[in-house]
Structure formats: structure tokens, C-alpha cells
Amino acid sequence: MSGTIKKQGIFHSARVKLTFFYLVTIMILSLSASAAVRVFAEQEYARSNDAQRSEVSHLAKLYLFSKKQPHPPEMLFGNVQSDQAAIVRQHLNQDLVIINLTVLIVGGAVSYWYAGRTLKPIEAAHDAQKRFASDASHELRTPLTNMQIENEVFLRQKHFSEDEARAQIASNLEEVQRLETLSRNLLALTQYGQAALTPGRLSIAKITKEALRHTQKTADAKHVTFKQDLKKAEVFGHEESLVQLLEILLDNAIKYGPEKGVVTLTGTVQPHHYALQISDTGPGILPSDLPHIFDRLYRGDKARNGKVSGYGLGLALAKQIAEANKVTIRVESTPGNGSVFEVQFPLTG
């Protein structure tokens, strides 16, 4: 709770500072424009008066002074001109003050709104990073704690056989492998989020065959059968990463599917893309989980998590790979009727 309040205080302070910066910039521009308008108006007014004075002076030369006219027309015009200039300056100054006050008020409101909008993605990234660091720390701590407890219990035994020692070492290696898998996926997430991939022309049949080959052992362990109905086509993308993307989706379908289940691959050529669907016969995904399944370290409801091991990084990595290849990935699922993941590849033309 205190962390949330502190975060809100930091971002509120940043928003106020950014608002002040925007407002100062707006007012500098507004005041500069006002000064320029005033100078321009003064020059135009002086030019206009000079022209009128010249005309009056010309008429004065042709005018015969009478006793009823003690002052020449030029002097009378000069007095009127001075009075008009004072009135024009006063009105101009009042208008400029009103305009700048309006700019100050409206600019302040707009600056505050725009500062919030500017900081929103930064705040979202901050929250995601904090949540990811917290979850990753928890996931890393779990296998390390397991290893520590198992080893401490094992070492308390006064006597143990060679088979027991081998079993303990095998258990430790299993936890090390889990840590290695987690670390590799975390690095892959960073890699695909920053690296620029070099795309090329790819055969759907080739990348699908390679992905199936990589997941065949996992499928055999659960006696899962693959069915394929793929139309031939060439797509545009990075081969190695797209094979990994399909491997993740196939592995996900196998893990969440039942023993002796079926995973179906269907590929069709659409007007603007190639649609590859991977369907499973698993328990499906709850509607409340669907918006979050591509989030890092999200593993859905507890019932599914209790049966399937993992860290919730696979689908997040698949999403990252898809974005790096400008590929669209989406999912449809109904609880009890399995899930369908669809990958839309750009065609080569």
C-alpha cells in the first residue's frame, strides 16, 4: 500500500513539473507573439498617421488662415492623433492581457492533461517492470528454496545409499534445468524486444515441419497425435524465431491437452495473410483469463496451474516474437471445448 502511495506521489510530482514546463513554454510563445503583435501594430499605426499627416500638411499649404482658426490644421491633427494613439494603445494592451490570461488558463489545463497522457505509458511500463521483477523474483526463489530444503534434509541423514544420492542429484539437476529454462526465456524476451530481425521468404510447410519435430518427444510422452491440413504458401518472416513461435504454441497445446489428445494444425490462404490455426482438446481458457494469457508470468486459473508446470513465459515470448515479425497472434477459447490459437503471417505477394 505504501509503495502504491509513493509511486502515485512520484508520478503526480512528475506530472506537475511537466505541466509547469509545458505551460512556461506556451507562455513564452504567447508573450513573444503578443510583443510582436504590439510592435507590428505600433508600426502600422505610425505608418498610417504619417500618411495622414502628410496629406493634412499638403492641404494646409493651400489653406488660408482666418482669425477664427488660431491653430493650423497640422496642430489640431497632432492633438487628435495623440489622443487616438493613447486610446488604441490602451485597448491593444487590454486585449493582449485578456488573450494571455486566457492562454494561461487554457494552456494550464491542456498542459496538465497532456502531461498525464505523456506519463501514462511510462507509468504503465513502470508498473509492468515492477510486477515482472516481483514475479520473476518469486519464480526464481521457488526452485532455489526447493533445492535448499531437499539438500538440508538429505544431509541430515546419517546414512544413505548410492541410489538415494543419485536420486538427490537428479532432483537437483531437475531444479537447475527449470532455472535454466526460466533464464533462457527471460533473455529471449529481452532479445526479441530489442533486436531487429531480418525477414525473408519462408515456406509454411518447412517451418511447421521443424516446429513439429521439436515438439514430437513431448507429444509422444503424452501420446498426443498431430493432425495437419495445411495449404501450401510462402510467407514473410524470420525463420528461426517463427519456428520457435510455433513450437511454443504446439507445446502449450500439448501441455494443456489431455492424455491421448489431438492437436490439429489448419492453414488457409486469406486475401491479405496466411492463417495458421493450432487447436487443442484441452479444458479451454476462462473468459477472465483470455485478456491476460500473453502477459509475462501469467498462468491462468489455479485448476489449470495445478496440473501443468511452467512459468507463464511461453505465450509472452510468443507474443514478443509475433510483434518482432509483424505477425498477428490471437486466441479463441470456450471452457470445456479447447482453445484455438491463430497466427496470421504476411504473404510474400
Does residue 304 carry a pLDDT above 60? no
Q: How confident is the model at residue 84 (pLDDT cuts 50, 70, 90)?
A: low
Mean pLDDT computed over 342-346: 93
Q: Which residues lie across from 328 on neighbouring strands?
A: 344
Is the pTM here over 0.85, yes or no?
no
Residue 198 phi, psi (nearest 5): -100, 105
% of the chain beyond a pLDDT of 90: 17
Which of 74-88, 101-115, 122-136, 259-273 shows the lowest per-residue confidence on average (mean pLDDT)? 74-88
According to CATH, what is the number of the domain 200-346?
Answer: 3.30.565.10
C-alpha cell at 21: 514546463
pLDDT, residue 204, reads: 93
The arithmetic mean of pLDDT across residues 109-119, rounded, is: 86
Give the mean pLDDT of 37-56.
Answer: 69
Per-residue confidence band for 298, with pLDDT thresholds at 50, 70 and 90: low
**What does pLDDT average to over the chain?**
78
- What is the pLDDT, as a whole number, of residue 67? 43
Mark out the alpha helices in the chain (DSSP H runs).
2-61, 73-156, 162-194, 204-221, 239-256, 302-307, 314-324
Contact (Cβ atoms closer than 8 angstroms) between residue 315 and residue 168 = no
Lowest mean pLDDT, pick from 44-48, 99-103, 201-205, 285-289: 44-48
Pairing between β-strand 273-279 and β-strand 328-333 as defined by DSSP bridges? unpaired
Q: What is the mean pLDDT of residues 16-21?
A: 88
Among the residue ranges 18-27, 84-93, 132-141, the one predicted with the least confidence is 132-141
> Is 292 in a helix, a strand, or coil?
helix
More confident of the two residues 57 and 319: 319
Q: Residues 172-210: pLDDT tens digits?
A: 887 787 777 777 766 666 666 656 677 889 999 999 999
Q: According to the model, what pLDDT value does residue 229 have?
A: 92
pLDDT band at 83 (very low <50, low <70, confident <90, very high): low
- C-alpha grid cell, residue 280: 487443442
Question: Cα(52)–Cα(58) distance, rounded to whole angstroms?
Answer: 10
Q: Which residue has the higher pLDDT, 274 or 58?
A: 274
Pair type for strands 262-269 and 225-230: parallel
Q: Which amino acid is at 127?
A: D
Q: Write the pLDDT tens digit of every residue in 223-248.
A: 999 999 999 999 988 888 899 899 88
Residue 223 pLDDT: 92
